[in-house]
Amino acid sequence: MSSLNVRLFDDDASIVAIGEGLLTATLPRSAWTHEAHLAACSWLVRDRLDINIERALPGIISTYNIACGGVNDDSQGYHETITQVYIAAVKTHLAEVGSQLALYQLVNSLLLSARGRRDYPLRFYSKELLFSAQARRVFVAPDIASLDRM
């Protein structure tokens, strides 16, 4: 994905609105893009220290999917392995760039980095494993490269 295909954010308020919309399951489905996923995750990791992100995000996303008329099954909806990979990527990115940046600058820098790419998990997983029903239901260890190499 080139940087031309990435939708960047202009301010912190738009990211907070996405995060709050996710938490309340009121975010319009059309707004739940790849960029919105990473923006909401970044906001939760950086600003919502009251939420244990690894434990809470699966339920938050699953609840949101259902509220939008979606389903969470073996082929669509919530995906545990991808979610946990991106949580780790967001945490690693935040540790590298620091928390001094405005939220939108942090998110934009993530989106423009390798960690922000839609295909980032495929650096660690084969397509067969990543898109398996098992990887959707539970976290599975990578079969190509260690996640320590984030």
Across 9-26, average pLDDT = 98
Res 100: pLDDT:
87
Residue 4 — pLDDT band, cuts 50, 70, 90?
low
Q: Which residue has the tokens 């423009």?
A: 112
Q: How far apart are CA 30 and CA 68, in angstroms?
A: 10
Residue 114 has pLDDT above 60, yes or no: yes
Q: How far apart are CA 20 and CA 87, in angstroms?
A: 17
Q: How far apart are CA 89 and CA 83, in angstroms?
A: 10
Q: Are the C-beta atoms of residues 46 and 38 closer than 8 Å to each other?
A: no
Domain ranges within the chain, ordered by starting residue: 8-149
- DSSP three-state, residue 24: coil
Over residues 27-81, the pLDDT tens digits come to 999 999 999 999 999 999 999 999 999 999 999 999 999 999 999 999 999 999 9
Whole-structure pTM over 0.85, yes or no?
yes
Q: How far apart are CA 99 and CA 105, in angstroms?
A: 10
